[in-house]
Amino acid sequence: MMTAIHAARRGRRVVLLDHSDRIGRKILISGGGRCNFTNIHSSPENFVSKNPHFCKSALSRFTPKDFIAMVKSHRIAFHEKKLGQLFCDGSASHIVDMLVDECSDAGAEFALGCQIGSVSHDGSFEIKTNQGVFNSERLVIASGGLSIPQIGATGFGYKLAEQFGLKIVEPEPALDGFVFGKTDHKHFEDLSGISVDSLVTCGSASFRENILFTHTGLSGPACLQASLYWRRNSPVQINLAPNKDAFSWLTQRKQFGKAEAKNVLADLIPKRLAEKLCELNAIKGPIAEVSDKLLKELSNQIENWQFRPGGTVGFRKAEVTRGGVDTNGLSSQTMESKKVPGLFFVGEVVDVTGQLGGHNFQWAWASGFAAGQEV
C-alpha cells in the first residue's frame, strides 16, 4: 500500500493484487490489535541482514517522523508504550483505513481475493490470475514472509524471486519463543506463567526485558528479541538478576540464620523459580548452613544461565521471517532487481528484519516509499 500510494501520486496507474479477501490482516493483529506502527528510535542498528548497510538508504528517506505525520493528518490518536514503541489508542484498523484511504485518494485500485496463477516477463509483465490477466511495465512484490500462515502467509515472493534468478537467504522464524531441549523441559516445564526481569544475550546482542516461562520453553520480549540473532545449536545466556551480584547478595543474607535458602532467594527472583533452582542445586535448609561453594554455583546459574534452545516455536507463532530475497540482487535506493528491470521487492519478503517494537513496520513503510518513488 505504501508503494501504491506514492506511485499513484506520481501519476502511475496502480492495482494491488491480494490473494486475501481482507486488506492488511497482519496489521490488524499486530500489537494486540492496536498496531505498534513504528518506533521513534528506529535506525539501521535495529535491523538484521546479510548486508547490514542495505536498509540505510530507505530508512533515511522515509523516517518514523514521516509516518507519524501521516497518522496525525488522519487524526489517529496514539501513544508511546515503552522504548519508543508507538501504538494506536484505538484499533489497528485505523492504520489500515488510513492506508486504504490514501491509496484510493491517489487513484490506486484493489483486486482482493485475487489468486496468482503465473507471472511471466517479456518486455513487460503478464500476471495470470483467477480475475483475468494483468499486464504491467513494473511489478512490485510485497507478499511478506512465512510467519503466521493462518492469516495467509506463503512463500510466493521467494518462489517468484527464484523464478527470475534472484537468490534467497534461507527464511527462518524470528521474534519467536524458544523451545526447551529435553533436559530443560524436564526441569522447567512446571514453571509456566512465571515472568522474570532478565538480561538475555545471544551473540553480540543483549536485551534487558522480561522473559516468560511457557509449557514448552521461554518467551517474553527479551527472548523474542534474542531469537532474531539466534542460530541453531548455539547457546543463549540469561542473567535472571541483572544489576545484582547474586553471590554477595546471598552470602550477606546468611545472617538471617534459620531462614530457608529457597525463601531468601525468593526475595531476588520469583518464588517458584527460586524453589526450582535450589532443588536443582541440591540446596536445602537454612541459608546459614549452605556452603559458600553451593551458593557460588547457585549464583553462577542465576547470573549466567547457559540455555541451549532445542529450537523456536516456528512460523506459526513467529512475528516475522528472518532472511528472504538476497539484497545483493536489489538496489538499495529503489528496491528494484538488478537482473530484471521493473521488478521490485519490498517489506518482509526482503532479507531485512527488524527487532521487536515497530521496526518491521517502519521497514515496510520505508522500503515501500523507496519503490513508490521509482515504479
Q: Do 166 and 213 belong together in one domain?
A: no
CATH number of the domain that 162 lies in?
A: 3.50.50.60
Please report whether residue 57 resides in a domain.
Answer: yes
The residue segments making up the domain with residue 305 are 178-312
Q: Do 187 and 125 belong together in one domain?
A: no
What CA–CA distance (Å, rounded) separates 239 from 210?
11
Number of structural domains the chain divides into: 2
Q: Do 65 and 201 belong together in one domain?
A: no
Q: Do 207 and 237 belong together in one domain?
A: yes
- For 213-228, write each residue's pLDDT tens digit: 999 999 999 999 999 9
pLDDT at 317 over 80: yes
CATH number of the domain that 275 lies in?
A: 2.40.30.10
Q: Do 133 and 211 belong together in one domain?
A: no
CA torsion sign for 90, 92, 97, 99 is positive
- Looking at every residue in the chain, the average pLDDT score rounds to 96
Q: Do 13 and 76 belong together in one domain?
A: yes
Q: Do 199 and 236 belong together in one domain?
A: yes
Instruction: With cut-offs at 50, 70 and 90, classify the pLDDT of residue 258.
Output: confident
- pTM of the full predicted structure? 0.94
What CA–CA distance (Å, rounded) separates 228 from 71?
28
The Cβ-side half-sphere exposure at 232, using a 13 Å CA radius, reads: 7
Q: Do 292 and 343 belong together in one domain?
A: no
Choosing from 312, 335, 359, the residue where a domain stops is 312
Nearest in space to 333 (alpha carbons), one of 322, 344, 325 = 344
Q: Give the three-class secondary structure for 19.
A: coil
Q: Give the three-class secondary structure for 231.
A: coil
The per-residue pLDDT for 255 is: 84
What CA–CA distance (Å, rounded) separates 366 from 355?
15
Instruction: With cut-offs at 50, 70 and 90, classify the pLDDT of residue 279.
Output: very high
The per-residue pLDDT for 139 is: 98
The per-residue pLDDT for 257 is: 76
Q: What share of the chain is helix, strand, coil (3-state, %, to 5)?
A: 35, 25, 40
Q: Do 357 and 287 belong together in one domain?
A: no
pLDDT at 256 over 80: no
pLDDT at 135 over 90: yes
What CA–CA distance (Å, rounded) separates 103 from 128?
23
Q: Do 350 and 239 belong together in one domain?
A: no
Please report whether residue 317 resides in a domain.
Answer: no
The per-residue pLDDT for 214 is: 97
- For 51-103, write each residue's pLDDT tens digit: 999 999 999 999 999 999 999 999 999 999 989 999 999 999 999 999 999 99
